[in-house]
Chains A and B, each alone.
Chain A
Amino acid sequence: MEKKILIRGNEAIGEGAIQSGCRAYFGYPITPQNELTAYMAKRMFEVKGVFIQAESEIAAINMVFGASLTGVRTMTSSSSPGISLKQEGISYMAACQLPGVIVNIQRGGPGLGNIAGSQGDYFQATRGGGHGDYRTIVLAPYSAQEMFDLTCLSFQLADKYRNPVMLLSDGIVGQMIEPMRQNWDTNDKNIEWKVRGEDWILNGCKGREPRMVRSLLMEEGELEKLNWELNRKYKKMEEQEVRVDLWNIEDAEIIIVAYGIAARIGKTVIQRARRQGLKVGMIRPITLWPFPIQVIKDIAQKVKSFLVIEMSLGQMVEDVRLAIEGKRRVHFCGRPGGSVLEVDEILDKLREISNLK
């Protein structure tokens, strides 16, 4: 039997980062992601990496910017209000084509909100909360295992496209403790620093032409050229990086679309609904951007209707409706920040939908 360990979601992200060769972490404390910052403080010391508790979230993202320039794998994490502060830095990273991983363990908003889990930052994450015409890949884990796996994937994708990647989770998945497969050597304290981008990083120009990394492009045509280049990159991400999990789809008449903690709650709903004879399945986007438009389109041809569930008052539901282009009814069931979606209310909604003609 493969070895499993019991681990908290937030800590699984930290270990995923360490195993991915991340050797520079910058953060500022905020609940409900503090276990991640604490974990990085401990582990970075063990692997002789860099851990800095920055003076603010803005400082932390700009430290990520600077570390990324030197070719190391780097990460910052925060929760909703802190992620808002990081948006300027993320926009600059996108413009300068700098890889880096930004973790958002969402809490209730708007404003300072509260410390309970929520999914109110979907718009901000998928539409690029900073200014300008840019995209970030957004991955949405829903278990401790995926907190680990998708963190590893985040670093790979960030390097592959030289682009910031956001890991979008929430306070519940972050705080939850679950078994996770452990497939690395715990005694290995010398996992290599991954230095990459020999052809673009700033590592001292002795023996070569100096390089400059900047986002201020004032010369005629310069900025447009960059934007087209970025656009080609984003198109490639849309073609190659869509990831989705399908569950009980084969005979389904109603499809639940949900991500993160809402998908966990949705699975309980489906287990119970099927016992009551309702044929319900689930599409769980793992990449929120690029969004699984084609998968939803294809499945829409075979089912009666959709129910989107979110711990918000309706954000991803807009993407589902765009994908379906009005060909099927798309219902919504959500609860805003400050509350938790309940299985019974979703079951009620499902019964209501299944009785519709």
Chain B
Amino acid sequence: MAIPLFLILVGYAAGVLLPLCFPARPRIQNLIAHGLAAVATMGGIYLGMVGLLAPEPLAMSVPSTLPLLTFAVRLDALSSLFLLMISFVGLAASIYAVGYVTELYGRISIGLLGSLYNAFLLSMTLVVLADNGFFFLIAWELMSLFSYFLVVTEHEKSDVRYAGLFYLIMTHIGTAFVILTFLLLFQGSGSFSFDAFRNLGHPLPDNMRTMAFVLALVGFGTKAGIVPLHVWLPYAHPAAPSHISALMSGVMIKTAIYALLRVYFDFFGGHFPWWWGFVVLLIGAVSALLGVMYALMEHDLKSLLAYHSVENIGIILLGIGAGMIFHSYDLDELAALGLIGGLYHTINHAVFKALLFFGAGSLLYATHTRNMEEYGGLLRRMPWTGGCFLIGAVSIAALPPTNGFVSEWLVFQSLFLSYQMPSLLMKFMLPLAAAMLALTGVLALTCFAKAFGISFLALPRSSHARHAEEVPWPMRVGMGGLSAVCIALGLAPMLVVPFLDHVSTSLIGRSIADKMLALDGWALAPVNVEFSSLSSPVLGFLLVATAALGLALVACYGGTSPRRYSKTWACGLNLTSRMEYSATGFVQPIKRVFSTIYQPTVKLETEFLEESRYFAKRRRFEFHIEPLFQAYFYDPLIAFVSGLADRMRIVQAGSLHLYLAYIFVTLVVLLMVAL
């Protein structure tokens, strides 16, 4: 382990330093930074595979001069899985970035961007490897800071600066909670090493454990983007350059999932009451549904994808929450199923979300706008980007035979198998969560039908879209590779499930891989093959076979005449892009049906002709939806805090004498207390 790890660290370190050595040579900086990152991520993929295949965790540590801090790393199954995911998406992003950053030449320093990019990847790698609380916190903080610097890459724009500030504040609130969690664990163990944390799970008094649960959920939940702590995602993800957005959305928020699993299953050893799992499940269901609902109303493609991250974190938490509930009732086989579903979705989401952000980045590269209403007809102009984006859209909409479908299917099964639980409440609540997942699934389908249909189909809606050109080949390779993985993960779950089972076995000590792989691995079964089974390779084969049947029928029944091309009938007028359905129009029925959640406000201004009130000269239509949490939670909170700060200002008069008096009074009070 030592040698590959050393090489990875050297690779990233070189990636941080070398690009800065070639000032004003953007081409060289670009190649060096992303080339080194690619090499280091390949090392990460290798190390992740080694860790996943190793029967025992690999560990090593380097002492430091500071007390409590050791640079301890440990590669167990859970770390390996996340390391593999980070490195794989990192590799794709590095290839993609070679093409993508060419657009930024001359506008910003590519050397700095590349250097920060490597530092960001390195910090994420360290987060999942760290085996010491102090070391973890340092890596966690570095990850937050480097991602902040990357978010504000285009800091000359005021909305980017605002997004960055918003992200910085939110992520630090989260970090504060994470620190509190670790301090609580430290109080129980007397050491910051993860080994000490592992052994304290039970002796800690109940109220302390509950507190640690809540603190960890809020702290890591902020990073993961659970509702109602999700507000920073739709600001920060669109502001960053697209390959960074892909890493943040696909991978960085998953480190929070990693940390939650680490704390709940590893540190607490899986000893927790049922309601912990229920809280996680509930948050998952609400995040999934609200995430997709806000995504539907979004017409900035990258914000839309950011909201979908909230949704998918929700789906992951549905699986993990179900697993936690099962585990607390000692139904360990079903708990393993829930965890495997959640972990599978974690990986899948990393792949297809990175792919979709690459797609959005390509559109931005080609059209210089993120507004979907200005796209249109791009499939013809950008066939590669379009095809890859379509595969990503089908995957995220969880349609067979792609990867999103398989993992969502597993989460569904774990929710359905709740009928084996002793509690009637759980028996009823988990299927209800499944219904919410079903609604989420279809709404995601609608949202991506919108995203793809409005962006890539029909007529171009602006001159940007009319003159768009296909992106350079490194970007296509990045997207194409991820598309292939989306399909492979969907068609060959039998190759993935044993690894995930290895991870869940390391967490709860029960392996179910042999029960999940029915019929020599051709079908997946959730523990019990009688209850349900799924064979995605067979479904894939059937889809191809029946499509071929359709072609054969056409050939058979004389459908040989060549197609005739003609204009779309537009009631006698020439079809223009202004007649097309817009993204806003497309989701109008949904906005109306779910108006309780959206609370839309519509403003319609009409200017009439002077001669007659029956003829309009100009119309202006505006609609807004009320972001509930911002309006009813964050805005009052911010108002309260700044109000408090205003009142505190009386103390800060700016007079030196006053400050000296404060110091004096404090000293006297301290002395009095001490004596």
Do A and B interact?
no
Interface residues of B (CB under 8 A from A): none
